[in-house]
Amino acid sequence: MTAISPTAISTAPSAEAPFGRIVTAMVTPFAPDGSVNLDLAARLADHLVREGSDGLVLCGTTGESPTLSWAEQHALFAAVKEAVGDRAALLAGSGSNCTAEAVEATAEAAALGADGVLVVVPYYNRPPQEGLEAHFRAVAAAAPGLPLMLYNIPGRTGCSLAAETTARLLDLPNVVAYKAASGTTEEVSRLRLLCGGERLAIYSGDDALTLPMLAVGAVGVVSVASHVAGPQIRELIQAFLAGDHALALARHEALLPLLQALFCTSNPIPVKAALELGGWPVGAPRLPLVAADSTVRERLSSILAALRPT
């Protein structure tokens, strides 16, 4: 049998992975006066696609959606859409803890030409499962032809979307993907057990768990680290898909110091510092987040230097 080279494996969008294998949760660049830097956002998006991102999420957690106005979010999406065109899947973060706002944002994303939306579990309210189901049904109905990626991140939202609830939502044809960010591979296994391995595309929501989650059935990753290590993450996923698990493990272990450093404090503080160290002046996060301190920057600088090709 002829061995398959990992580099021969495509990570582009497919029936199995509707948004591709590597979806970068993109930061929102800010100008020195604190406004959204649309020109830099467009250039960064183009760079990320060239570095291996199959898709981009705009205005998610990493994009600081809680501190962006809806007008800023729409302008950002339009600028990136113009820069990227159809070279990558573009998902808009349209979640909110107010169902009416999420419905409106999802309809607007469809009107702007999004390829999908990332819809986070409503935060702070801590709704019961019945409320979560009703919320996502309302959002899905706002744009019936627009694919939805459900986003479960209980560490930020204060509640968790149960696998049983997700399974009930699969009667909605536009619920196609799930970002699993509970910090455990068990979430993936439970979803596959109840939802079927082919009906729902599960993406790792934790960079450090990409390889373990692939091993239990995830199709890719919604990544922060791909801002600065896109080619290396692509190599990891391609190696796994090609069956070269030893190479995939080696790539995982080489990336682990970076993956840990990027989450040593609240995201996106470290990744914005990493981008600035790489020559991308994306600015500090908006308050109440703050810029990385010297300890974080020094740690990242050392790790990034070690990752650079010699």
pLDDT at 1: 36
pLDDT in tens, 262-303: 999 999 999 999 999 999 999 999 999 999 999 999 999 999
Closest CA relative to residue 239, chosen from 254, 261, 259, 224: 254
Residue 2 has pLDDT above 60, yes or no: no
Q: Report whether 119 contacts 86 (CB < 8 A).
A: no
pLDDT in tens, 197-223: 889 999 999 999 999 999 999 999 999
Report residue 310's pLDDT band, with 50, 70 and 90 as the boundaries.
low
Q: Report whether 81 contacts 49 (CB < 8 A).
A: no
pLDDT at 198: 87
279 alpha carbon, distance to own chain's centre: 22
The residue from 151, 178, 203, 272 that is catalytic is: 151
CA-to-CA distance for 162 and 168, rounded, in angstroms?
10
134 alpha carbon, distance to own chain's centre: 24
User: 144-155 burial, b for 16+ CB within 10 Å, e for fewer?
Assistant: eebbbbbbbbee
Q: Report whether 109 contacts 60 (CB < 8 A).
A: no
Report residue 92's pLDDT band, with 50, 70 and 90 as the boundaries.
very high
Residue appearing with tokens 């993450």: 233
Residue appearing with tokens 């649309």: 38
Question: Which whole number is the average pLDDT over 12-28?
Answer: 91
Alpha helices in the chain (DSSP H): 38-50, 70-84, 99-112, 129-142, 154-157, 163-169, 186-195, 210-215, 226-241, 245-261, 269-277, 294-307
Structure tokens of 277?
């160290």
DSSP letter (8 states) at residue 5: P
- Is residue 151 flagged as an active site residue? yes
CA-to-CA distance for 256 and 78, rounded, in angstroms?
34
DSSP string covering 121-141: PPPSS---HHHHHHHHHHHHH
Q: Which residues contact 224 (CB under 8 A, 6 or more apart)?
A: 24, 25, 62, 207, 262, 263, 267, 268, 271
Q: Which residues contact 123 (CB under 8 A, 6 or more apart)?
A: 97, 156, 157, 158
Structure tokens of 294?
């010297």
Average pLDDT, the chain: 95
Helices 226-241 + 269-277 axis angle, to 10? 100
Torsion of CA 32, 35, 40, 42, to 10 degrees: 180
- Is residue 81 flagged as an active site residue? no
DSSP letter (8 states) at residue 243: T
Residue 308 has pLDDT above 80, yes or no: no
**Percentage of residues of the chain with pLDDT beyond 90:** 93
The residue from 81, 179, 203, 272 that is catalytic is: 179
- Residue 221 DSSP SS3: strand
Which amino acid would we find at residue 182? S
CA-to-CA distance for 120 and 153, rounded, in angstroms?
8
Residue 8 has pLDDT above 70, yes or no: no
Closest CA relative to residue 165, chosen from 130, 200, 193: 130
CA contacts within 13 A on the Cβ side of 234: 23
| pTM: predicted TM-score of the whole model, two decimal places | 0.95
